[in-house]
Amino acid sequence: MTWFTRRLRRLAPQLVALAIILGIISLIAPGFLTISVQNGRLYGSLIDILVRAAPVALLTVGMTLVIATRGIDLSIGAVIAICGAVAATLISDGYSLPVVIAVSLGVGIVCGLWNGILVAVLDIQPIIATLILMVAGRGIAQLITEGVILTFNDDTFAALGSGSLAGIPIPIYLWVGTALIIGLLMRRTALGFLIEATGINRRAASLAGVRARFLLFSAYAISGLCAAIAGMIVTADIRGADANNAGLWLELDAILAVVVGGTSLNGGRFSITASLIGALIIQSINTGILVSGFPPEFNLIIKAGIIIVVLTLQSPAIMTLFGFIKATRRSGKLNHGTKEATR
Amino acid sequence: MKKALVAATAAAIFATLASGVSAKSLTVGFSQIGSESGWRAAETTVTKQEAEKRGVTLKFADAQQKQENQIKAIRGFIAQGVDAILIAPVVATGWDAVLKEAKEEKIPVILLDREIESPKDLYLTAVTSDQVFEGKVAGEWLAKDVGSKDCKVVELQGTTGSSPAINRKKGFEEGIKAASNIKIVRSQTGDFTRTKGKEVMESFIKAEGGGKDICAVYAHNDDMAVGAIQAIKEAGLKPGTDIKIVSIDAVPDIFQAMAKGEANATVELTPNMAGPAFDALEAYLKDKKEPKKWIQTESKLYTQKDDPMKVYEAKKGLGY
């Protein structure tokens, strides 16, 4: 079996789910799949999905690594708010774009390192350690924006959220680029392998010479970095930092995306690509609900219903059942064959 | 007998004097919910301004979204012997005990911007806006503005199930009931936020033939309208002319959009709840005139004709 088919087999449940969801939406809302060029940029609901998925997709990249170490990062929604607030403040104070981006990314990494200290050095359980910043983070963001929606008028920074390059919206470049860089870093070096080892058994990994503490630090730092990029996109998109609402509950969407992508919350083996398809599934559902014209009271029920179906299809019990059906059929044939032979 | 009469008169004069003094410098306690939104911050600022204007000493307590903090603050006000208490209640229930304590001390209580589920004799009055009426004002403006032309409206609702979302939707539908040419073709929740307002509007534009069929947007608050304006601009259309924008709240940013011609109308949810409250209180303390149990604030309509830049400058400093 070649490398490619093996990959495809790993991603098959997610890809099939995504295709079915897109198919159903296009039946309900005709014109959903059309893509045209308008004002020199690609335009259409599918493009909307790719653009709107940017924040969750970025968070998902970091979250996948953290979950692979058998951790979880609840703080990233709040980190979005903090980094957005920092970026908006600097932009309205007249700092240049590179400074704004560098400082915001730096703040995101610092937030991640804070989580890293709590988890790796103080050995606090990740869910509690990151809960601290989840709660405090919005307060910090509100202190930075002084409790208002901090708006700015800077077209170059706003382009991060709503601009386009060669017809493709910039947020798509940002999340695909980040995912590619981190994905290659994980799989073309031993980093990904070592993270998996740490996630499966930190003690054993340490004893085998893996620097588990450093890996935990880097996983949380990358998670903070991804949240910082997402924070800038969200802020640039509405030309303002909304400390109360920016990134609200996105950490839960990111966890969901990782789970839909088939990475276990118990740590160990992970797939960034599968998690990203999970993020696209979630955003497709969101956008699909909007274009389909259902009343908003149904939004959450529809979303939950689809997620249940996707997760059920992937569950070990159902997989075993499928395997069992396949096996009985094959053995049935086999028995038949042997009978023929004996006769 | 005579002595008693003199004593009584003296007491009466003293009492009048005393009450005269207290009317001149009223002390009022104000228990605010917190500062969770710009509007809330503006309400605090305006309340302080109104108190200063009338020479009222205002004792301010921020409850940080917690009822127990509010109850603590009210008990504190009672212990300090304030002349009246203003409460912006964070929740609707659980106030009976502390309100009874205030009543026993004969301290009148006025509710600001939200009502509670307590016996009506426990508080003097409630000053709130009428959310259904706000929606109705928006709807009637649109009906008048489009005249007899056919008009497809898309609606950006507030958080599903929240009372402003339910009431502002109901009011708008009442406002356009008479105009059969106006139809709400799409309605979705934008959670009262800019981001969701923009995302939902993008989808609406795609679902309604590139936005050319949409004649107006009705947003349950200004923030979602600001998001929708950006979505319309990015789709290559002109907000305010190609697609009309009408929303509720009247926060400063929408006036900036109005000045640029990108928004058409907004209905004010006034942050000045304290003004009418102080008026009612003064009338009550002066000649024991019981006000009505509900004082409705004005839901003023602002359009591009109302010099939006001037309103923006006036509202900018209120802490929105």
pLDDT at A343 over 50: no
> What is the secondary structure of chain B as a DSSP string?
-HHHHHHHHHHHHHHHHHHHHHHHT-EEEEEE---SSHHHHHHHHHHHHHHHHTT-EEEEEE-TT-HHHHHHHHHHHHHHT-SEEEE--SSSSS-HHHHHHHHHTT--EEEESS--SS-GGGSSEEEE--HHHHHHHHHHHHHHHHTTS-EEEEEEE-STT-HHHHHHHHHHHHHTTT-TTEEEEEEEE-TT-HHHHHHHHHHHHHHTGGGTT--EEEESSHHHHHHHHHHHHHTT--BTTTBEEEEEE--HHHHHHHHTTS--EEEE--S--HHHHHHHHHHHHHH--PPPSEEEPP--EEEGGG-HHHHHHHHHTTT-
Q: Is residue A307 part of a domain?
A: yes
**Contact between B35 and A238 using a beta-carbon 8 Å cutoff:** no
Taking the Cβ of residue B271 and every Cβ of chain A, the question of whether any pair is shorter than 8 Å is answered with: no
pLDDT of residue A4: 84
Q: Does B162 touch chain A (CB under 8 A)?
A: no
- For residue A245, the chain B residue with the least C-alpha distance is B193
Instruction: Evaluate whether residue A226 is within a structural domain.
Output: yes
> Any CB–CB contact under 8 A between B64 and chain A?
no
Give the span between the Cα atoms of B293 and B238, in whole angstroms: 45
Q: What pLDDT score was predicted for residue B6?
A: 53
Spatial CA neighbour of A28 closest among A263, A289, A255, A218: A289
The domain that holds A89 is classified in CATH as 1.10.3470
Give the range among A33-42, A208-217, A265-274, B245-254 with minimum mean pLDDT: A33-42
Q: Which residues of B touch A245 (CB under 8 A)?
A: 191, 193-195
Residues with Cβ within 8 Å of B268's Cβ and at least 6 positions away in sequence, in order, are: B249, B250, B298, B299, B300, B301, B302
Domain assignment present for residue A343? The answer is: no
Superfamily of domain B131-269+304-314: Response regulator (3.40.50.2300)
State the pLDDT at residue A144.
95
Question: By the CB < 8 Å criterion, does A44 face chain B?
Answer: yes
**A248 and A317 part of one domain:** no
> Does residue A3 fall inside a structural domain?
no
- Please judge whether A45 and B38 are an interchain contact, meaning their C-beta atoms are less than 8 angstroms apart: no
Confidence at A67, pLDDT banded by 50, 70, 90: very high
Q: Evaluate whether residue A53 is within a structural domain.
A: yes
Nearest CA in chain A to B162: A297
In this structure, are A165 and A212 located in the same domain?
yes
Number of domains, chain A: 2
pLDDT score recorded for residue B18: 46
Ramachandran area for residue A72 (φ above 0: left; ψ -120 to 50: alpha; else beta): beta
CB–CB contact B198 A290 (8 Å): no
- Mean pLDDT value across residues A251-272: 94
Residue A6 has a pLDDT of: 85
A245, A296, A297 member nearest B193 (Cβ)? A245
State the smallest CA–CA distance between residue B315 and chain A in angstroms: 13
Contact A79, A222 (CB under 8 A): no
Q: Are A209 and A312 part of one and the same domain?
A: no
Does B199 contact A38 at a Cβ distance shorter than 8 Å? Answer: no
CATH 3.40.50.2300 intervals, chain B? 2-127+271-289, 131-269+304-314
Could you tell me if A80 and A174 lie in one domain?
yes
Q: What angle do CA B47, B49, B51 make, to 5 degrees?
A: 70
Mutation to test the A interface, candidates B195, B226, B229, B233, most A Cβ within 10 Å: B195
The predicted structure's pLDDT at residue A315:
83
- Chain B residues whose CB is inside 8 A of the A45 CB are 203, 206
- Supply the pLDDT for residue A7: 85
Together in a domain, A244 and A136:
yes
Chain centroid to CA B162: 15
Q: Are residues A138 and A77 in the same domain?
A: yes
* Backbone conformation region of residue B94, classed left if phi is above 0, alpha if psi is from -120 to 50, else beta: left
Residue A20 in domain: no
Residue A206 sits in the same domain as residue A332: no
* CA closest to B34 among chain A residues: A147
A2 inside 8 A of chain B by CB: no
Supply the pLDDT for residue B17: 45
Q: Which CATH class is domain B2-127+271-289?
A: alpha beta
Using an 8 Å CB-CB cutoff, list chain B residues near A39.
Answer: 236
Say yes or no: A199 and A61 in one domain. yes
The structure tokens listed for B261 are 């011609």
ipTM: 0.88
Residue A31 lies in a domain: no
Q: Do A225 and A304 fall into the same domain? A: no
* Cβ partners under 8 Å of residue A231, min gap 6: A79, A80, A81, A82, A83, A84, A87, A104, A108, A246, A247
Q: What is the pLDDT of residue B258?
A: 96
Q: CB-CB: which of A43, A242, A291 is closest to B207?
A: A291
User: Does residue B65 belong to the interface with chain A, where contact is any CB pair within 8 Å?
Assistant: no
The verdict on a CB contact (< 8 Å) between A48 and B186 is: no
Q: Are A307 and A218 contained in the same domain?
A: no
The minimal CB distance from B200 to the residues A39, A245, A290 is found for A290
For residue A164, the enclosing domain spans: 40-293
Comparing CB atoms, the residue among B35, B202, B235 nearest residue A147 is: B35
> What is the SS3 assignment for A244?
coil
Nearest to A293 among B186, B227, B320 (CB): B186
* Residue A250 covered by a domain: yes
The predicted pLDDT at position B3 comes to 55
CB atoms B38 and A149 under 8 Å: yes
Instruction: Tally A–B CB contacts below 8 A.
Output: 73
Q: What is the 3-state secondary structure (H, E, C) of B20-76?
A: HHHHHCCEEEEEECCCCCHHHHHHHHHHHHHHHHCCCEEEEEECCCCHHHHHHHHHH
Same domain membership, residue A304 and residue A236? no
Question: Are both A185 and A259 inside the same structural domain?
Answer: yes
**pLDDT tens digits for chain B (320 residues)?**
455 555 555 555 444 444 444 445 899 999 999 877 778 889 999 999 999 999 999 999 999 889 999 999 999 999 999 999 999 999 999 999 999 999 999 999 999 998 899 999 999 999 999 999 999 999 999 999 999 999 999 999 999 988 999 999 999 999 999 999 999 999 999 999 999 999 999 999 998 888 989 999 999 999 999 999 999 998 999 999 999 999 999 999 999 999 999 999 999 999 999 999 999 999 999 888 889 999 999 999 999 999 999 999 999 888 77
Structural domain ending residue among the three candidates A260, A276, A293 = A293
CB spacing of B207 vs A39 below 8 angstroms: no
CB within 8 Å: A45 and B36:
no
CB contact under 8 A, A48 and B236: no
Q: Name which of A29, A48, A234 is nearest B202 (Cβ-Cβ).
A: A48
